[in-house]
Chains A and B, each alone.
Chain A
Amino acid sequence: MNDYIVEHPILRFTHGKRVKFTFEEEELEGYENEPIAAALHAAGVRILSYSEKHKRPRGFFCAVGKCSSCLMEVDGRQNVMVCMEPLRPGMKVRRQKGRHQSK
């Protein structure tokens, strides 16, 4: 939780309440209603998925819900844009491999 900006000459950040969520098997904390991607990056997570063919690591690119570079699996749902999806307590976030796996 130490990667949030604390002091800023212009901005004052109002965060939601601190909530726990899991990333892969790890328990992390973030602020409720911030995008999942913000919580992950504040916790030092940079790799959000692996590419389908060459298994290359992928991060976000646009952060405004346009580019689909940040698709992850959230609570069992595939292809969730984590730069837009608000964080809720107890969410289970996983890296997805490739586009998606149909069950």
Chain B
Amino acid sequence: MTENKYQTAEKTIDICVVGGGPAGLQAAIVVKELGGNVLIVDDNPILGGQLIKQTHKFFGSKLHYCGVRGIDIATIFSNRVQDLGIEVINDATVVGYYDHDTLGILRHDNLFSLKAERYIFATGASENMLAFDNADLPGVYGAGAVQTMMNVYGVVPGKRALVVGSGNIGLIVPYQLLQAGVEVAAIVEIMTKFGGYYVHAAKIKRAGVPIYLKHTVIEAKGKDRIEAAVISEVGDDYTCLLGTEKTIECDMILIAIGLSPLCDLLYHAGCRIEYIPELGGNVPYHDTNMMTSKPNIFVCGDLACIEEASTAMLEGRIAGARAYESIYGKKGEAETIVKEAARELAIIRTSPFEERIVYGKKHLHL
């Protein structure tokens, strides 16, 4: 191994947070505010996770930053991290969880190891792909991917989009495409009603974008790039109804059919992983304190269940407070943080949109 240029450095910390999105940042902020030693490892050049592309205003209560745009919440959190003097290792990818509970971290061309007493994983999720003819062509993009390109870098990789899926991402991204001057041909949704919040759907309908319910995409037309999409109506068993195909001109097909938790490091660490479809598929087992099957590992945010930024923040606060207590001992302030966050979570989860999550979490905790 003499010719390789990787250096090995050893770093130690009490609590290491992996992921600098809404969940991870809240966890780190809570730990630091309680007086613990914490650092954040994140793979982006700037903190905020997927908040940095959310141009829409959030809802909920004051506590959840209602009326504030996601991008501004990212700034509020990263300023707080800076003010508290929390160390951030950015541009860095955690590549593995090794013996003696050590992380391997790759930053630029430098591989080093880090050991923490407790880990809070807030790695988030990745976008799901959908299989159809020619789905591998350039132009079939994750809806969130196009949102990143468009809202963070000011580049839109097409002129006319078809969106597949009408959850909140499938409703918000097309509206943001319109704001950026890009045409939206249609949204297709396989279910009998749209999946996201009514406000988002109403904006889309006001803008005149058709939503095809009980439809799915079956083919992308084109050779090197997409020229059109073929959509089809589906029957009650979700199979395509012959003769209902429509060709829709577009040069982008945006896939917004859901996300899957990024569990890889948790598998590597030997945490128990359970398949709970309501939470997004394979998720690390965790209790109501956000502790996994390994007592030194906590999880929060989309990794724990595919939900939203506001609930990710609250779960992050619980994970932060409990990870803190597990090292430094019980503290009244930590208990208060957990109680408040749990109460807020319970309120949000009374919404009919959250039924799935409540069911999934109950299933997980059995």
**A residues in contact (CB < 8 Å) with B:** 3-5, 7-11, 13, 15, 34-35, 37-38, 41-42, 46-48, 51, 56-67, 83-84, 86
Contact = CB atoms under 8 A, between A and B. Distances in A.
Contacts of A65: 43-44, 93
Interface residues of B, number: 36
A64 B148 CA distance: 8
Q: Interface SS of chain A: helix, strand, loop or mixed?
A: loop
Given A9-B179, A10-B179, A34 B153 contact: yes
8 contacts: A3-B156, A4-B155, A57-B137, A62-B127, A62-B142, A63-B148, A67-B142, A86-B45
A60 B145 contact: yes
Contacts of B239: none
B237 interface: no
Contacts, number: 100
B129 interface: yes
Given A4-B155, A63-B148, 10 more contacts: A3-B156, A15-B154, A46-B138, A47-B138, A57-B225, A62-B144, A62-B145, A63-B142, A63-B146, A64-B145
B138 A13 contact: no
Contacts of A3: 155-156
B126 A67 contact: yes
Given A15-B154, A57-B224, A58-B138, A63 B149 contact: yes
Given A10-B55, A62-B127, A66-B262, A35 B153 contact: yes
B180 interface: yes
Contacts of B136: 51, 56, 58
